[in-house]
Chain A
Amino acid sequence: MRLSLKKVAIVCLFVFLWTSQVLGAQPPPLSASDLPGDDGKAVLLLWPRMPYEASEVFYVVQGAEGPEGPFEEIARFPSNSRYRTERRAPFWTWRKGKDEHFFVVRTIGGRPLESGREYYFRLGVDLGEGPSFGPAVSAIPKPNWFDFKKLNNLIFMVLLAGVVLWFIGRARKKELFLRRIPGLDAIEEAIGRATEMGRPIYYLTGRLGMSSVSTIAATIILRDIAKRAAGYDAQLKVPHTDPVVMAVCREVVKGAYLEAGRPDAYNEEINFYVTDDQFSYTMAVDGMMVRERPAAVFLMGYYYAESLLLAEVGASVGAIQIAGTDAEHQLPFFVTACDYTLIGEELYAASAYLSKEPALIGTLRAQDVGKAFLTAFLVLGAIASTIGVWAGIEHKIDYFLDILRDFS
């Protein structure tokens, strides 16, 4: 083996350069400042990336309550970690990158930082033989009046508020379009059939009181059905479980019969009280349905476990059943036992459609705008993040995805 002096010299030079750089590793310059957007109990430390960083080389962060110390160790971590990219923060408050390290100090020696007090910090580099420290720097944590990380949340709220108010205002001026709900088309058919067969129509408003949105929707739909029933001269029956709802429904049905030009056909007994007890009510209504074999049954409003008992009996007597509820747990029963089911929000939409109430229609339109926006964002977001992975530019896609991310 021939070893030229020149080669040895070059190797020696490299070894020397490497060791001098590592052994003489100077800690990077540290900067300390108040962490923005908090309650004033944290300090943000930043320092640049150094060439000697590796998983065996450690950074040590120390803090003290006075310039002279005593300095206490706060954290110790591999020097190739805690780059700016690793912090979950939106692009509008935080620059991501691997050129700088960060550390958020909240306690020194287990004691939480207090706002308005000056604290001192220093950074050390440890190559395995104990750390060597740079000079200490200081910062005073201060409370802030706005958390910019939540800016997107605030903007979303303000925009949504604007959209809701704007659409309600517009709905007051002119009629806004709402699509027809398929279940509503079936109403006509069901009432027609009941008239033909000479059997009654049952209408149930659910088990909640007038304070519930679903009960209100149910009374609005009742108005429409009562009007048609009056026109066809069909027999309507509304068994009740809440006296207040019954009182409201009496007014609603009376008004509907008047509107249909059939005040003579109106009868106080269309709405009648059964009992407020859940299962007794259900059994009583089931008994009536078995005896009278209604041709159509409407189950609108909020239901609990009685839903399956009611829908089951209605189906077994061969009635056309149309249900509408926002009680998610009861939907499976309605869907399987009824001919049409208004699912969740469809119930509200149906009531808005029938009542033409500007506040209802406007809200529905505003929510649609919200849904359209979310839908568009979802599509673009999924495509963008797929491209991001494909092309290896995930961090660039974050500029887009951050818009609807939660940073609280």
Chain B
Amino acid sequence: MFLRQYVPMAIAFVMGVVFAVQYYVPHPASEELLTTVNDWLIVVSGFSMVLGLASLMGSHWAKVRRGVPGWGYSLVVFLGILGTLAVGIASKGKMFAGEELTLTALGWVYDNMLVPLQGTVFSLLAFFMASATFRTFRARNLEAGLLLTAAFLVMLGHVPLGEYIWDKVLGFLPPKADQVMGWIMNVPNMAAKRGILLGVGLGMIATSLKIIFGIERAYMGEGG
């Protein structure tokens, strides 16, 4: 109990208080402390990244071992990892090599596999968005109507064709489409985002305080 519970709580408390107070102390000794510990933590982040990558690999490995339906796809994941690692080591982790800056094998995998795959996965959203917009964007009440109007104006002011249409249809109005969009972004949108930001800021501070005082212990993992 003492080693598993109180020691980590004490460590979090000391670290939290010291580095909160450090902010107010301009003395070089205090700056040196921050620099040193911060440098350590960059190294620690590297170690913890291994943890994340390993747990992902572990879950896919478990699927392959147990032969759950679709385990073949988990094998594809491993194929991808090992293949990339192999070319990565061969290319010493660089995209380009030599004076001529020719593309390495890793650079090839990056350019022709990773970039198109990731890009395409996310570009699917353009299609989903179009259909969701069509099916759900209805001005069924004041709130939805306002949301819709703002979205409509922002989209119109966002693209050259929209600006062109505005000039043709609403050209007699003093503001241009991009100015209307700019105002929406800078005034009502900004105000709401700032209100949210103030709330989020208070929430972040409260959470940090709870970590320091040992009330919030989710970082300890299960059973913490």
Interface residues of A (CB under 8 A from B): 37-40, 115, 143-147, 150, 153-154, 157, 160-161, 164-165, 168, 211, 213, 275-276, 279, 305, 308-309, 311-312, 315-316, 328, 332-333, 335-337, 344-345, 348, 359, 363, 366-367, 370-371, 374
Contacting residues, chain B, for A146 (C-beta < 8 A) = 24-26
Question: Of A150, A333, A336, which is in contact with the most chain B CB atoms at under 10 Å from its CB?
Answer: A336
Interface residues of B (CB under 8 A from A): 20, 23-29, 31, 59, 70, 121-122, 124-125, 128-129, 131-132, 135-138, 143-144, 147-148, 151, 196, 198-200, 202-203, 205-207, 209-210, 213, 215-216, 218
CB–CB A312/B199 < 8 A: no
CB–CB A143/B27 < 8 A: yes
Q: DSSP class of B's interface residues: helix, strand, loop or mixed? A: helix
A-B contact pairs, 18 of them (CB 8 A): A38-B26, A39-B26, A147-B25, A150-B24, A153-B23, A160-B205, A160-B206, A165-B209, A211-B218, A275-B70, A308-B129, A315-B136, A328-B196, A336-B136, A344-B199, A345-B203, A348-B203, A374-B202
Report B190 CB to chain A, min CB distance, Å: 14
Contacting residues, chain B, for A305 (C-beta < 8 A) = 122, 125, 128
CB–CB B206/A276 < 8 A: no
Q: Measured between alpha carbons, how far is A147 from B206 in the docked complex, in Å?
A: 24
Question: Of B20, B131, B205, which is in contact with the most chain A CB atoms at under 10 Å from its CB?
Answer: B205
Contacting residues, chain A, for B131 (C-beta < 8 A) = 312
CB–CB A37/B26 < 8 A: yes
Quick one: given A157-B20, A315-B136, A366-B206, are A345 and B199 in contact (CB under 8 Å)?
A: yes
Contacting residues, chain A, for B29 (C-beta < 8 A) = 143
**Residue of chain B at shortest CB distance from A369:** B202
Contacting residues, chain B, for A161 (C-beta < 8 A) = 209, 213
Contacting residues, chain A, for B23 (C-beta < 8 A) = 150, 153
Q: Measured between alpha carbons, how far is A161 from B200 in the docked complex, in Å?
A: 16
Q: Among B31, B132, B199, point to the contact of A367 (Cβ < 8 A).
A: B199
Report B73 CB to chain A, min CB distance, Å: 8
CB–CB B135/A367 < 8 A: no
Contacting residues, chain B, for A332 (C-beta < 8 A) = 147, 151
Quick one: given A168-B215, A309-B128, A371-B199, are A145 and B25 in contact (CB under 8 Å)?
A: yes
